[in-house]
Structure 1
Amino acid sequence: MSAELMIGTDLAAEMVAKAAERASALQEQYGVQPCLATVLVGDDPASATYVRMKQNRSKKAGIASRSVVLPDSTTTEELVAEITKLSQDPAVHGILLQHPVPPQIDERAAFEAIDPAKDVDGVTMRSFAAMAFGDPGFRSATPGGIMRLLAAYDVPLEGAHAVVIGRSPILGKPAGMLLLASNATVTYAHSRTRDLPELVRTADVVIAAVGKANFVRGDWLKPGAVVVDAGYNEGNVGDVHFAEASEVASLITPVPGGVGPMTIALLLEQTVDAAETAVHSLTGLA
């Protein structure tokens, strides 16, 4: 068996193009340009690269970018103050805190400083609750992008057994909630799960989000399983051993070119959503 690739690049480009059309309409009709503010703490090269990439994609989508760069010595209180300013600024529609942050910072406190109406990366507890309860709200960008990719490839989720390897509050946990909302049966696992390979072999859908290169091996998989690699490690390597898994899975995401483009596309789409909501609340439109 040789797996079909689930490519996110083309679908993400379609999403960004549609977001750009909506952004243009907002500017033409109301004189409002959607704005995404990015907050970067420290000088980690990889994080800086990710922020620049998101800013470049924003420009292509007609979304304004505002960049806040803080020193590595920034405290939790200082970061919260900066995010609070952005939350209170009516010209800013979406806020992205690039993570991870330096160890002295309480990341959860920083996330919770984001106005839920501007939480376009879906990192606040309010956004998680919305995903868990099926309420309107922003999806965590990577899990939301994964769900759009699965839908585009007509992956049947109802009644399927999905194993999510990873328990991050902004990736693994929300991915499980969104799969559950699609009527999948969800098992959360992680690097310390006992008999993990045996558990993964029961999965129809595997979401790998553990943050360890080549962690999931091909002989862990049920023949014909759908494999989504949400990991990104040094050297463009995912959390799944791609060569091995490709011989067993029916569908698999490559790294790069699979989940990554979808994450950014959903972030931009939700920024336009936030801008539209803000405009409509001011104009009294439904």
Structure 2
Amino acid sequence: MTATLIDGKAIAAEMQAKTAAESAELSAAGWAPRLVSISVGDVAAAELYVRNQQRRAEAAGVGFEARNYPETISLEQLTGVLQGLNADPRVNGIIIQRPLPAHIPVKALQKSIHPLKDVEGMHPSSIGNIVYNDLALGPCTAVAAVEILKTLPLKVEGLDVTVIGHSEIVGKPIAFLMMGLGATVTVCHHLTRQVAVHSRRADAVFVAVGKPGLVTGEMLKPGAALIDIGINRVEGPDGPRTVGDADFDSCAEVAGWITPVPGGVGPVTVATLMQNAVLATRMQMAQYRDIYTAAE
């Protein structure tokens, strides 16, 4: 392997230390950050994520409460729950765990969360703010991927970047974030002809599609940075394992830097979630102070 392995856990640990310090400062001011996680029905699919989030929250000094509701709950009832959490000053952030039952569209729930409590960065206003380079509460995975790239010894201004995948919560936000930093960005998707033509000329490639082995070494410029955001479960000779969207072995022979899966973007995404929780708490504290100052 010639590529330098990007240690997402180390980056996340550094972020977590800063978040814990800010959380302690807010707690001393009477504003201890607190998250509420919402899941519906069988939680087996989301249980690992919830446990990981709770563990990271505790390490960052952020309160965490996991709530599970029966699969029979209606969209109207769940929306009412969110409205109650929006109005509760003791709750600073709301997380919607996926998957959800078919009768509850996740976008409807994301729209119901107050933008100041949207720690996942999924509310339409949070996504839209990125167009104006306002990163107050950005979508965690996209922000994490860009933060990883910023740790590398690359000049972002003028960097040629290819984003493979154009989802509303990962690919598109990454493209806007990178443009906001001065990069020249190409976005590829399932209708793009000859993706390799674009990826081979890029100094940095982000891939977030959900297709294992999609990006191979021959699709990369030698020395390029590869940020692999995909998470896929595949069967191997020793049983199921987690892999990204890149063929790691061939890409590592060509790339200058590469993120492993797991251990790359994932830990930084959770660290970004906690960072958003602290920032959301600070923003809510300021809003309450403005309201009561104006009322006096």
Same fold (TM over 0.5): yes
1:280 CA drift (Å): 2.8
**Number of matched residues?**
284
1:134 CA drift (Å): 1.3
1:247 and 1:136 map into 2 onto residues whose CA distance is 34
Matches for 1:33-112 after TM superposition, within 5 Å: 33-112=32-111
Q: What CA RMSD, in Å, does the superposition of the two structures yield over aligned residues?
A: 1.7
Paired residue secondary structure (2:210): coil
Gaps of 5+ in 1: none
The residue identity in structure 2 corresponding to 1:20 is A
Whether the 8 Å CA contact 1:5–1:251 is kept in 2: the answer is yes
1:136 CA drift (Å): 5.0
2:189 and 2:76 map into 1 onto residues whose CA distance is 32
Choose from 276, 279, 283 the match for 2:282. 276
Paired residue secondary structure (1:279): helix
- Which residue in the other structure is 1:166 paired with? 165
2:229 and 2:77 map into 1 onto residues whose CA distance is 31
2:38 and 2:166 map into 1 onto residues whose CA distance is 24
1:247 and 1:267 map into 2 onto residues whose CA distance is 32
Paired residue secondary structure (2:243): coil
Whether the 8 Å CA contact 1:122–1:141 is kept in 2: the answer is yes
- Which residue in the other structure is 2:17 paired with? 17
1:136 and 1:192 map into 2 onto residues whose CA distance is 29
Gaps of 5+ in 2: 234-240
The residue identity in structure 1 corresponding to 2:287 is S
* 1:153-194 residue CA offsets vs partner (Å, 9 max, x unmatched): 233222122111112211111111101111111111123422
1:53 and 1:261 map into 2 onto residues whose CA distance is 9
1:248 CA drift (Å): 0.7
2:229 pairs with 1:230? yes
1:100 and 1:179 map into 2 onto residues whose CA distance is 29
Q: 1:31 to 1:105 in 2, by over 3 A?
A: same
The residue identity in structure 2 corresponding to 1:13 is A
Quick one: percent identity of the two aligned structures?
38
1:136 and 1:183 map into 2 onto residues whose CA distance is 15
2:91 and 2:223 map into 1 onto residues whose CA distance is 45
The residue identity in structure 1 corresponding to 2:139 is S
2:71 and 2:192 map into 1 onto residues whose CA distance is 34
- Which residue in the other structure is 1:6 paired with? 6
Paired residue secondary structure (2:242): coil
Tell me which moved more, 65-74 or 177-186. 65-74
* 1:22-76 residue CA offsets vs partner (Å, 9 max, x unmatched): 1112222x22210011111232533221011101110111111122212334443
Whether the 8 Å CA contact 1:19–1:272 is kept in 2: the answer is yes
The residue identity in structure 2 corresponding to 1:251 is W
* 1:206-227 residue CA offsets vs partner (Å, 9 max, x unmatched): 1110011121111111111110
The residue identity in structure 2 corresponding to 1:17 is A
2:269 and 2:96 map into 1 onto residues whose CA distance is 14
- Which residue in the other structure is 1:217 paired with? 216
2:178 and 2:227 map into 1 onto residues whose CA distance is 13
The residue identity in structure 1 corresponding to 2:107 is R
Return the TM-score normalized by structure 1. 0.93
* 1:212-259 residue CA offsets vs partner (Å, 9 max, x unmatched): 112111111111111000011112101111111000111110111110
2:114 pairs with 1:115? yes
Whether the 8 Å CA contact 2:178–2:185 is kept in 1: the answer is yes
Return the TM-score normalized by structure 2. 0.90
Which of 1 and 2 has greater Rg? 2
Whether the 8 Å CA contact 1:189–1:196 is kept in 2: the answer is yes
* 1:99-142 residue CA offsets vs partner (Å, 9 max, x unmatched): 34333322211111111001111101101111111125211101
2:163 and 2:216 map into 1 onto residues whose CA distance is 15
Q: 1:191 to 1:55 in 2, by over 3 A?
A: same
- Which residue in the other structure is 2:247 paired with? 241
Q: 1:34 to 1:81 in 2, by over 3 A?
A: same
The residue identity in structure 1 corresponding to 2:269 is T
* 1:259-282 residue CA offsets vs partner (Å, 9 max, x unmatched): 011101111011011112222333
Q: 1:238 to 1:44 in 2, by over 3 A?
A: farther
Whether the 8 Å CA contact 2:137–2:280 is kept in 1: the answer is no
